[in-house]
């Protein structure tokens, strides 16, 4: 289905090359702990080569090319992603641990959609609302996390390329493989060398990209902690910056909501992608009068979730991406118990090898509990209750984050009333975790700044 090479080089100037100092690291399958491949670890010299190659490609080729020509390459990448979708889906599930049903139906089609959508903008930038002839910035340095490896690469590369920038992208250490397959697709699409460079490595590699003086724009998706470091590193340099960081979203269920639909939305909100989702609905706020009933139905539904082999099409919950992340989920869940919340998981056999965590719900959670405040980034839901819409808004906004929220109610007027008051970049109504390349995504406060997707997302890659 997919051929994984025993070793991968860095993708610089259109070719795969080993790291200058020959260093490598291993990426594993989190469902089995087996090693999948050895990948080059880029040091500062490699980052420098990648940025120079991107700078040359920007000056000589990409920024001079008419948008209609750039669009042809981006469309080609989109079509190749579709043609090779099965290969990408299997590779993504192997390297990340996510269920194949999700990589097949969500990650890969959405990644292709991002390239298609942005290809359409490449020759229409003068209609994007940023002046008659908006100019690209130069080299974009892009650093992404492990939860949606290919999709986050698409979110970064597609708008940058459409706007006429060239890119140096670093995938996360635990999930480099789909970005390297995407590099192969760039070759297959005859993308001019240097327009896209993929440098694999660890946090230091990311820091070297951020610090490189020839990088004009930094785009980062990851933790709030690293986001803060990057903001400090970039301050005063004149580099343009967008940060997509963590979240602790409220999924708010009113007593008039369609109960089964809401339960599906709660499950999707927190158990999709093992809860490794920045916009996950990790705090369920349920109206007191229906709380018992909703939690009852939720538990019944949770008992039907199938946890196990990510490559099995019937799997709902796959593996946790790394031991480090598993430890964090365990630690925070233990704190929930210690602080007095009620912990429940359905009966569920965890495989012996690999990193696993059963879907978990905490009831009786109060706002001061760590599990109600800290991002767990795992399949763990905290349930809180409210009586009035005002109380729901106050509790939902009681977080340093502000990425997303969900509202479940039959009343349209209440949806609008809530959406006006919730301090979150995205508010879903009677649905959750819906994404579209035309729709801007991004946060408030500690969830970051700047938008990705839609017309707004282009702004980050243009002189405006």
Tokens of 237: 């340099």
* 146: contact with ligand NAP by CB under 6 A: yes
| CB distance 181 to 91 below 8 Å | yes
DSSP sequence for 270-306: HHGGGG--TT---EEEEEHHHHHHHHHHHHHHHTT--
Closer residue to ligand NAP (CB): 116 or 146 = 146
Tokens of 83: 């043609």
Tokens of 361: 């719900």
* 355: contact with ligand NAP by CB under 6 A: no
**Distant-in-sequence contacts of 230-237, Cβ < 8 A, 24+ apart:** 230/143, 233/207, 234/210, 237/213
The count of residues interacting with ligand NAP (CB under 6 A) is 29
DSSP sequence for 137-193: -SEEEEE--SSSHHHHHHHHHHHHHHTT-EEEEE--TT--HHHHHHHHHHHHTTPPT
Integer Cα distance of 356 and 412 in angstroms: 40
Closer residue to Mg ion (CB): 178 or 382 = 178
- Of 244, 375, 446, 459, the active-site residue reads 244
Q: Which does 145 bind (CB under 5 to 8 A by kind): Mg ion, ligand NAP, none?
A: ligand NAP
State the minimum distance, in angstroms, from the CB of residue 325 to ligand NAP. 7
| CB distance 303 to 317 below 8 Å | no
Q: Which does 27 bind (CB under 5 to 8 A by kind): ligand NAP, Mg ion, none?
A: Mg ion
* 226: contact with ligand NAP by CB under 6 A: yes
Is 278 a catalytic site residue?
A: yes
* 215: contact with ligand NAP by CB under 6 A: no
CA dihedral 272→277→283→286, nearest 10 degrees, is: -40
| Radius of gyration (C-alpha) of the chain in whole angstroms | 22
Interface ranges with Mg ion (CB under 5 A): 27, 95, 174
* 39: contact with ligand NAP by CB under 6 A: no
Q: Which residues of 336-370 are buried (b: 16+ CB within 10 A; e: fewer)?
A: beebebeebbbebeeeeebbbbbbbbbbebeeebb
* 143: contact with ligand NAP by CB under 6 A: yes
Closer residue to Mg ion (CB): 174 or 205 = 174
- Of 278, 375, 446, 459, the active-site residue reads 278
Q: Considering only residues 152-191, where is the footprint of ligand NAP by CB under 6 A?
A: 170, 172-173
Closer residue to ligand NAP (CB): 325 or 385 = 325
- Residue the block writes with tokens 């194949």: 100
* 397: contact with ligand NAP by CB under 6 A: no
Is 279 a catalytic site residue?
A: no
Closer residue to Mg ion (CB): 378 or 440 = 378
Q: Which does 229 bind (CB under 5 to 8 A by kind): Mg ion, ligand NAP, none?
A: ligand NAP
* 242: contact with ligand NAP by CB under 6 A: no
Exposure of 335 by Cβ count < 10 A (0-12 exposed, 13-18 middle, 19+ buried)?
Answer: middle
State the minimum distance, in angstroms, from the CB of residue 269 to ligand NAP. 14
Closer residue to ligand NAP (CB): 286 or 405 = 405
Binding mask 271-290 for ligand NAP (x = CB under 6 A): -------x------------
Give the one residue of 202, 305, 419, 429 binding ligand NAP; rule: CB under 6 A.
202
State the minimum distance, in angstroms, from the CB of residue 257 to ligand NAP. 26
Closer residue to ligand NAP (CB): 102 or 244 = 244
Tokens of 59: 């000056």
Integer Cα distance of 231 and 110 in angstroms: 29
- What is the DSSP pairing of strand 24-29 with strand 426-429? unpaired
Residues with active-site annotation: 244, 278
What is the contact surface with ligand NAP in residues (CB under 6 A)? 143-147, 170, 172-173, 202-203, 206-207, 210, 221-223, 226, 229-230, 244-247, 278, 375, 377, 403, 443, 448
């Amino acid at each position: 289905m997919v051929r994984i090479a025993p070793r991968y080089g860095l993708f610089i100037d259109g070719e795969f090359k080993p790291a200058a100092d020959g260093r490598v690291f291993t990426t594993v399958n989190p469902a089995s702990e087996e090693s999948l491949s050895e990948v080059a670890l880029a040091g500062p010299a490699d980052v420098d080569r990648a940025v120079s190659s991107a700078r040359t490609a920007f000056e000589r080729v990409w920024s001079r090319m008419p948008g209609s020509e750039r669009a042809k390459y981006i469309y080609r990448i989109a079509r190749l992603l579709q043609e090779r979708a099965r290969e990408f889906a299997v590779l993504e599930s192997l390297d990340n641990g996510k269920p194949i049903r999700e990589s097949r139906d969500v990650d890969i089609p959405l990644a292709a959609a991002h390239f298609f959508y942005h290809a359409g903008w490449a020759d229409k930038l003068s209609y994007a609302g940023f002046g008659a002839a908006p100019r690209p910035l130069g080299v974009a340095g892009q650093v992404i996390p492990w939860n949606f490896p290919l999709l986050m690469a698409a979110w970064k590369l597609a708008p940058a390329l459409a706007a006429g920038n060239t890119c140096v992208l670093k995938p996360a250490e635990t999930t480099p493989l789909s970005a390297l397959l995407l590099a192969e697709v760039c070759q297959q699409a005859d993308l001019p060398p240097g327009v896209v460079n993929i440098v694999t490595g660890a946090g230091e590699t990311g820091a070297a990209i951020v610090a490189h003086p020839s990088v004009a724009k930094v785009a980062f998706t990851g933790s709030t902690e690293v986001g803060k470091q990057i903001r400090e590193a970039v301050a005063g340099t004149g580099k343009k910056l967008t940060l997509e960081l963590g979240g602790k979203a409220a999924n708010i269920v009113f007593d008039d909501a369609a109960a089964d639909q809401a339960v599906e939305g709660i499950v999707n909100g927190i158990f999709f992608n093992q809860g490794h989702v920045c916009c996950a609905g990790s705090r369920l706020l349920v109206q007191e009068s229906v709380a018992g009933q909703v939690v009852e139905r939720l538990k019944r539904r949770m008992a039907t979730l199938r946890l196990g082999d990510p490559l099995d099409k019937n799997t709902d919950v796959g593996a946790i991406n790394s031991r480090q992340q598993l430890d964090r989920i365990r630690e925070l869940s233990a704190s929930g118990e210690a602080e007095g919340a009620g912990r429940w998981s359905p009966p569920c056999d965890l495989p012996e090898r690999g990193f696993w965590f059963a879907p978990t719900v905490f009831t009786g959670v109060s706002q001061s509990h760590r599990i109600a405040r800290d991002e767990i980034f795992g399949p763990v839901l905290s349930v809180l209750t409210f009586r009035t819409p005002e109380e729901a808004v106050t509790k939902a906004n009681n977080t340093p984050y502000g990425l997303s929220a969900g509202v479940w109610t039959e009343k349209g007027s209440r949806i609008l009333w809530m959406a006006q008051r919730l301090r979150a970049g995205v508010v879903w109504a009677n649905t959750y975790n819906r994404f579209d390349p035309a729709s801007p995504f991004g946060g408030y406060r500690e969830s970051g700044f700047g938008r990705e997707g839609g017309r707004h997302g282009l702004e980050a890659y243009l002189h405006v």
